[in-house]
Amino acid sequence: MLLNGKTAVVTGAAQGIGLAIAELFAGHGARVVIGDLNLEAAEAAAEKLGPARAARCDVTRAADVDALIATALEAFGSLDVMVNNAGITRDATLRTMTEEQFDQVIDVHLKGTWNGTRKAAAVMREQKSGAIVNISSLSGKVGMVGQTNYSAAKAGIVGLSKAAAKELAHHGVRVNAIQPGLIRSAMTEAMPRKAWDQKLAEIPMGRAGEVHEVASVALFLACDLSSYMTGTVLEVTGGRFM
Ligand SMILES: NC(=O)c1ccc[n+]([C@@H]2O[C@H](COP(=O)([O-])OP(=O)(O)OC[C@H]3O[C@@H](n4cnc5c(N)ncnc54)[C@H](O)[C@@H]3O)[C@@H](O)[C@H]2O)c1
């Protein structure tokens, strides 16, 4: 029970990595609030998690993130962990990517994570405690073909997390990031077989990761096991691009 009595908000947790994080946190005694664009799926997920709530939230909208955090405070009285996980891809090469595709991806990942980080920090600073976990990507470390928007946003999340970590450390608030590699989820299963096999060949461990293998690292960063860590970036990649 690593998060007993703690309240955690997880964005984009109606499915995939976020849902796995919400489930693992709940299993460790956390009261979880799921924020997602897809309210129906978020509510269905929350119902299975014991004391949990769901809220419709578009992370690009500051007012939605405010309301999400207010839901946690009203229902459970604190905000101890914030996981900024919501994400989308709009892959296209530089030649074909539209300005709209660029803006959408920057908005959801970078503005969304900024919104989640600053809004959570406002509460945690007063509490003098808290842990923020931001989901970046290996794409933000090495840059990937067809992802100038996504690689830029995910690299941006690293800079954002480190800057916030420096601002918040003396308030007892830690900020860390995770860079998952190829993880089996709806986002990656939409990929053509050839692209999947190409990526697999780059992974020393010879397999894709599972969502629970990202969730366990998020749990580590969210709980006191990592009490002396802030501003770090943990790679969950099976050794890919180490
Ligand atoms: N799957 C991977 O291989 C992988 C690798 C590296 C990083 N990531 C990152 O992990 C995170 C989760 O990815 P996933 O694979 O679980 O994807 P997913 O598509 O399965 O789930 C993403 C969730 O985010 C929600 N969402 C999208 N836009 C939103 C918005 N504006 N506001 C609120 N919610 C929104 C979706 O409704 C969905 O429930 C993302 O940030 C992604 O970039 C995934």
Q: What is the pLDDT of residues 205-236, one digit of tens each?
A: 999 999 999 999 999 999 999 999 999 999 99
Inform me whether the pLDDT recorded for 94 exceeds 90.
Answer: yes
pLDDT value at residue 74: 98
Q: State how many domains the chain has.
A: 1
- Give me ligand 1 centre to Cα 86, in Å: 5
Average pLDDT on 178-191 reads 94
Provide the pLDDT for residue 190: 86
pLDDT, mean of residues 174-183: 99
Q: Is residue 38 part of a domain?
A: yes
pLDDT of 50 > 90? The answer is no
How many Å apart are CA 235 and CA 179, to the nearest integer?
5
CATH no. for residue 83?
3.40.50.720
Between 54 and 50, residue with greater pLDDT: 54
- Please write down the HEC assignment for all residues of 155-214: HHHHHHHHHHHHHHHHHCEEEEEEEECCECCHHHHCCCHHHHHHHHHCCCCCCCECHHHH
Q: Report yes or no: 29 and 4 within 8 Å, Cβ to Cβ.
A: yes
| Count of C-beta atoms within a 10 Å radius of residue 205 | 11
Whether pLDDT at 6 is above 90: yes
Amino acid at 30: A
Pairing of strands 81-84, 52-56: unpaired
- Read off the pLDDT band of 90 (50, 70, 90): very high
b/e for 70-101, b at 16 or more Cβ within 10 A? ebbeeebebbbbbbbbbbbbbbeeeeebeeeb
> Ligand 1 centre and the CA of 142: distance in Å?
19
**Confidence at residue 153, expressed as pLDDT on a 0 to 100 scale:** 99
Question: What whole-number distance in Å separates Cα of residue 94 and Cα of residue 178?
Answer: 26
Q: How many angstroms separate the CA atoms of 182 and 209, rounded?
A: 6
Q: What tokens does 97 get?
A: 């990517």
Task: Give the pLDDT of residue 187.
Answer: 86
Q: Residue 240 falls within a domain, yes or no?
A: no
Give bridge partners of residue 235 from the DSSP assignment: 179
What whole-number distance in Å separates Cα of residue 137 and Cα of residue 112?
15
Cβ atoms < 10 Å from Cβ of 223:
20
Domain holding 195, by residue range, is 7-235
By alpha-carbon position, which residue is closest to atom 23 of ligand 1? 12
**2: in domain:** no
Q: What is the C-alpha R_g of the chain?
A: 17
Domain-located, residue 242: no
Atom of ligand 1 nearest to the CA of 89: 43
User: Please, which pLDDT band fits residue 143 given cuts at 50, 70 and 90?
Assistant: very high
Q: Please name the residue whose Cα sits nearest to atom 17 of ligand 1.
A: 187
> What is the Å distance from ligand 1's center to 170 Cα?
31
| Displacement of CA 55 from its chain's centroid (Å) | 16
Find the 87 Cα to ligand 1 centroid distance in Å: 4
Q: How far apart are CA 223 and CA 2, in angstroms?
A: 6
* pLDDT for the residue numbered 26: 98
Q: Which atom of ligand 1 is nearest to the CA of 64?
A: 32
Check whether 146 has a pLDDT greater than 90: yes
Asked whether residue 1 is assigned to any structural domain, the reply reads: no
Ligand 1 is surrounded, with C-beta below 6 A, by: 11-12, 14-18, 36-38, 57-60, 85-88, 108, 112, 135, 137, 180, 182-183, 185-188
Per-residue pLDDT of 66-88, as tens digits, reads: 999 999 999 999 999 999 999 99
Hey, which of 19, 37, 144, 151 would you mutate to test ligand 1's pocket, going by the most ligand atoms within 8 Å of its Cβ? Answer: 37
